[in-house]
Amino acid sequence: MASESISVTTSDDQTIQLSRKHAQMSQTINSMLEDSVGADQEAIPLPNVSSEVLKKVIDWCTHHENDPAPVEKVKKLNKKREYKAKNSTISDEWDKNFVNAELRVIVDILLAANYLDVKGLFELMCKHIANELKGKTPDQIRERFGIQDDLTEEDKAAMRKAWGATKNDS
Amino acid sequence: MEDSCSRSETQEWIFIRQATPTIILLRRVLSTSIQAAGPSQALLLSSVTLPGSFKGNLGGSSCHPPGPWFTLGTFFNHSSISSQLQTSIAFKRRLYPPDHKNFIRLPGEGKSHARRKLAWKTEEPTTRKETDPQQRHEMMMTQWSGELPLTAEYKIYGETRTSSFFGSSSFIKNLVTDVSKLWTSISKEKINVSRPLAVEEGDLGDLELLLTNRDVLFHLLSLLRPKDLANLCRVSRKMNFYASHNYVWKSLFDREKKKAPRELIERLSYRELYQHIFRWEWDDAKKSTGLSLVDDSITATRPQQESPANPCVMSKLPFNRIKDSYEVTIRNKGTWLGIGVSDSNLRLQNESTLGKQRHGFNSAFFCQDTTVLQTKGHLDVQVQQALQTGDRLKVKIDFEQKRVLYYRNGKLEGVVNSKVPLKEGELYPVVNLSFTSSVSFVNS
């Protein structure tokens, strides 16, 4: 019988135990487990995920362990509703607190969720960053994400031509 | 339009000449053909397809066997245009088409047509065998002398080409002129839509890490609305590169395409295509003489005081359920200003201002001493705060509820209810400008 916990090795060489149920929420780990059926239970290497980020991922998995699988969710939605769902805001209060972190951490979790293929977490992180970008002026985006304005006047004129005037242009 | 069904060849040809396609038909034909075949074949396709209007105008008359006019389902290179036209003429003149095996009946054509074609096949082969091609050609040249051949010059993508055509000189000349004009306008449209800055430099700040997996970045950007992508483009060169990326706009376009017109133009990126379909611009042909359009017809201004009274300009395209709203920035308010909607009955220069005219439906957010919402001369809503330079006004049509909603800087200012149904394709954005007033569409 398969053991109830799985060992994984993170990019900073730490070995972390996680429950099989949580591990199976990651399609990447799930595939690795299926491939290694009958083999010695060695720690699964996760070279793209740090221990700090993995703990965050496990936190999220713990909270959402009883959620229906994302595939089932999608099946229930017709295309229109799916589109709406994609654009809706984050409704879960726990999720709202979860994403209330530094942007660099959010980006790390997003990349980890992508690597581990945890769909729900991936969508949550994307939605959060997209919400951070929505409705903001270029200046606000630069300030929020620490991006430098390297556009020349010619570039700006070209964009005005392509997109029309903005409030700042008036 | 000639509607005679005479079998006289001369009359038939005259009819065809009168059925010379309008620019609208050409546009429709070309937009389909460009999508299917590519630009170099579009000219030929139009000339082959043109007689389609011939059939349509006749309403399926049984007097004219449509024959090859409808059966050339294959695309040919433009070099073969002369032979195709020649074939068509020969057919009309009851000379059996030399490559008649290629002519097949298309689905939807009547049985009578099929029978007629069969009859032709049984009647004509002898004639065909007896007719020497050279002799036939000479006969045609003689009978159509003065009109054949014609050397026409046309341009595709700035490249000048010359071809010889057989056919009525005016017919071909009109055709080539129209196609040439059309290509110029299409090229112009392409040039006007600026390309994204093809520069991938600078940094993305805290999002820089996402570049380790661009699919993630693209997925994230695909969740945004066009307006947000437009703002992202203005952030930095690198952000512009990604926010303008075809992949992102393809996702956006795919999401919206069910609602979009089925008009695709080859060589436009998805971003350009999206803009092509969804952007607003003022129409030079539907403006009062006192107004000027700048910034590729996005901005309307009134530079002269001595212009006709209350000059208006309408947008090029009407509202529909996809484009059910527009937004403008007031660049200069002037002494008064009207921003609203109207149908095509609006008089572009009139004693009455926009929203006060009695012709058709017109409604406006009008600002002079006071700011009001007025429709066909009726005051609907008195707005407390006057319009200011820099304000953003949005006008939205609710086709279901028969009403026009007016927003200022994102806040609803008032609603105008219409007694008559508001129909798609009949209402246009309109502005009514005083001296120095200037208003720009916000297309994002």
Within 8 A of A81 by CB-CB distance, chain B residues are none
This prediction has a pTM of: 0.45
pLDDT the model gives residue B429: 92
Instruction: In whole angstroms, give the CA distance from residue A133 to residue A120.
Output: 20
- Using the predicted structure, report yes or no on whether residue B85 has a pLDDT greater than 60: no
Which residues in A69-105 are b (16+ Cβ under 10 Å) and which e? eeeeeeeeeeeeeeeeeeeeeeeeeebeebbeeebee
Question: What is the domain range of residue A27?
Answer: 5-150
pLDDT the model gives residue A47: 82
Domain-located, residue A66:
yes
Q: Is B176 in a helix, a strand, or coil?
A: helix
- Using the predicted structure, report yes or no on whether residue B335 has a pLDDT greater than 50: yes
Which residues in B267-284 are b (16+ Cβ under 10 Å) and which e? ebbbbbbbbbbbbbbbbe
Q: Which of A106-110, B64-68, B107-111, B420-424 comes out lowest in average pLDDT?
A: B64-68
**Domain count for chain A:** 1
CA A69 to chain CA mean position, Å? 16
Domains of chain B with CATH codes: 9-192 (no CATH), 205-278 (1.20.1280), 282-441 (2.60.120.920)
Mean pLDDT of chain B: 60
Instruction: In whole angstroms, give the CA distance from residue B87 to residue B99.
Output: 8
- pLDDT-based confidence at residue B273 (cuts at 50, 70, 90): low
Domain-located, residue A160:
no
Within 8 A of B442 by CB-CB distance, chain A residues are 164-166
How large is the average pLDDT for residues A2-31? Answer: 83
* Amino acid found at A3: S
How large is the average pLDDT for residues A10-14? Answer: 86
- B431 vs B25, higher pLDDT: B431
Find the closest chain B residue to A168 by CA distance: B390
Structure tokens at B358: 């009695």
Domain-located, residue A79:
yes
Find the closest chain B residue to A156 by CA distance: B234
Highest mean pLDDT among A24-33, A76-85, B326-335: B326-335
Find the closest chain B residue to A166 by CA distance: B442
Domain-located, residue A82:
yes
Instruction: In whole angstroms, give the CA distance from residue B106 to residue B52.
Output: 13
pLDDT the model gives residue B10: 27
* Amino acid found at B106: L
Q: Which residue in B188, B218, B231, B253 has the most chain A C-beta atoms within 10 A of its own C-beta, making it the best mutation to test that interface?
A: B231
How large is the average pLDDT for residues A77-84? Answer: 46
Q: Which of A152-166, B126-140, B191-205, B308-322 comes out lowest in average pLDDT?
A: B191-205
- Using the predicted structure, report yes or no on whether residue A33 has a pLDDT greater than 50: yes
Structure tokens at B231: 């703002």
Q: Which residue in B190, B214, B235 has the most chain A C-beta atoms within 10 A of its own C-beta, making it the best mutation to test that interface?
A: B235
How large is the average pLDDT for residues A7-26? Answer: 86
| Inter-chain touch B240–A142, beta carbons under 8 Å | no
Q: B400 burial class (0-12, 13-18, 19+ CB within 10 angstroms)?
A: exposed
Taking only the tens place, the pLDDT of each residue in A54-72 is: 999 999 988 888 877 655 4
Nearest CA among B281, B387, B367 for reference residue B326: B281
Domain-located, residue A39:
yes
| Inter-chain touch A150–B225, beta carbons under 8 Å | no
CA–CA distances in Å: residue B190 to residues B157, B185, B267, B309:
11, 9, 9, 35
Highest mean pLDDT among A61-65, A73-77, B95-99: A61-65
- A109 vs B420, higher pLDDT: A109
- Using the predicted structure, report yes or no on whether residue B195 has a pLDDT greater than 60: no
Interface of A with B (CB under 8 A): 83, 86-87, 103-104, 107-108, 110-111, 114, 126-127, 129-130, 133-138, 141-142, 145-151, 155-156, 158-167, 169-170
Domain-located, residue A15:
yes
**Domain with A65 in it: what CATH number?**
3.30.710.10
Q: Which of residues 111-170 of B touch A (CB under 8 A)?
A: none
CA angle in degrees (0–180, nearest 5) for B207-B212-B215: 85
* % chain B with pLDDT above 90: 3
pLDDT the model gives residue B57: 23
Domain-located, residue A89:
yes
Domain-located, residue A30:
yes
- pLDDT-based confidence at residue A99 (cuts at 50, 70, 90): confident
How large is the average pLDDT for residues A140-167? Answer: 76
Highest mean pLDDT among A27-31, A60-64, B308-312: A60-64
pLDDT the model gives residue B229: 82
Find the closest chain A residue to B255 by CA distance: A83
Taking only the tens place, the pLDDT of each residue in B109-140 is: 444 443 333 333 333 334 444 556 666 555 54
Q: Which of A17-26, A125-134, B351-360 comes out lowest in average pLDDT?
A: B351-360
